[in-house]
Structure 1
Amino acid sequence: MAAASVAGCTGATSSGHAPPVAMRTGNFTSRFRPQEPTGWSIAVPESAGGASPGPLPVALFLHGTDADHRMVFEDLDAAQVLAQHISRGGTPFAIAAVDGGETWWHRRASGTDTQSMLVDEFLPLLAGQGVDTGRVAVFGLSMGGFGALLLAAQHRLPGLRAVAAMSPAVWSQYDAGRSDNFDSAADFAANDVFALRPELESLPKRIDCGTADNLLFSVQDYVKDLPGEHEGGFHPGGHDGGYWRSILPDVVGFLGRTLA
Structure 2
Amino acid sequence: MLGWGLAVAASATGCGNDPAPGAAPEPALEIPGGYLETGSFLSEAMGAGDVRYAISYPPGFEPGAQLPMVLELFGRGGNELIPFSRTNLALGRIQAMVIKRGMPPFAVATVNGGPTSYWHRRATGVDPQAMILDEYLPLLASKGLLVDRIALLGESMGGYGALLLAQRLGAERVAAVAVYAPAIYRTSGITAPGAFDGPEDFAAHDVMSGAARLRGIPMRIVCGTFDPFYAMTQTFARLPHEPPVQATYAEEGHSATYWRRETPAQLRFLAERLGPVSASVRS
TM-score tier, shorter chain, comes to 0.7 to 0.9
For the pair 1:208 / 2:222, whether they are aligned, the reply is: yes
Selected match of 1:120 from 125, 134, 139: 134
Question: Which gives a bigger RCO, structure 1 or 2 (Cα 8 Å, sep 6+)?
Answer: 2
Find the aligned partners of 1:38 and 1:230 in 2 and give their Cα distance. 33
Match of 2:7 in 1: none
Structure 1: runs of 5+ lacking an equivalent: 1-11
Q: 1:192 to 1:170 in 2, by over 3 A?
A: same
- 1:174-193, aligned counterparts within 5 Å? 174-175=188-189, 178-193=192-207
Q: Which moved more, 1:238-247 or 1:176-185?
A: 176-185
Q: Which moved more, 1:222-231 or 1:21-30?
A: 222-231
Find the aligned partners of 1:52 and 1:41 in 2 and give their Cα distance. 11
Find the aligned partners of 2:111 and 2:155 in 1 and give their Cα distance. 13
Selected match of 1:95 from 108, 111, 116: 108
- 1:20-35, aligned counterparts within 5 Å? 21-34=34-47
Match of 2:71 in 1: 60
Find the aligned partners of 1:250 and 1:141 in 2 and give their Cα distance. 14
Match of 1:138 in 2: 152
Superimposed CA distance per residue, residues 19-67 of structure 1 (whole angstroms, 9 cap, x where no aligned partner) = 86211000112111236421110011244xx657951100100011111
Find the aligned partners of 2:63 and 2:32 in 1 and give their Cα distance. 11
Structure 2: runs of 5+ lacking an equivalent: 1-25, 276-283
Q: 1:89 to 1:179 in 2, by over 3 A?
A: same
**TM-aligned CA deviation for residue 201 of structure 1:** 2.0
Find the aligned partners of 1:67 and 1:36 in 2 and give their Cα distance. 18
For the pair 1:257 / 2:255, whether they are aligned, the reply is: no
Tell me how many residue pairs correspond in the alignment. Answer: 245
Match of 2:261 in 1: 246
What secondary structure does 2:189 align onto? coil
Find the aligned partners of 2:122 and 2:33 in 1 and give their Cα distance. 39
Q: Which has the higher strand share?
A: 1
Q: 1:217 to 1:35 in 2, by over 3 A?
A: same
CA-based RMSD of the aligned residues comes to 2.3
TM-score (norm. length: structure 2):
0.80
**Fraction of identical pairs, as percent:** 35
Q: Which moved more, 1:148-157 or 1:113-122?
A: 148-157
* Amino acid across the alignment from 2:250: H
Selected match of 1:165 from 156, 179, 188: 179
Match of 1:221 in 2: 235
Q: Tell whether the 8 Å contact from 1:21 to 1:45 is kept in structure 2 after alignment.
A: yes
What secondary structure does 2:57 align onto? strand
Selected match of 1:39 from 45, 52, 74: 52
TM-score (norm. length: structure 1):
0.87
Match of 2:15 in 1: none
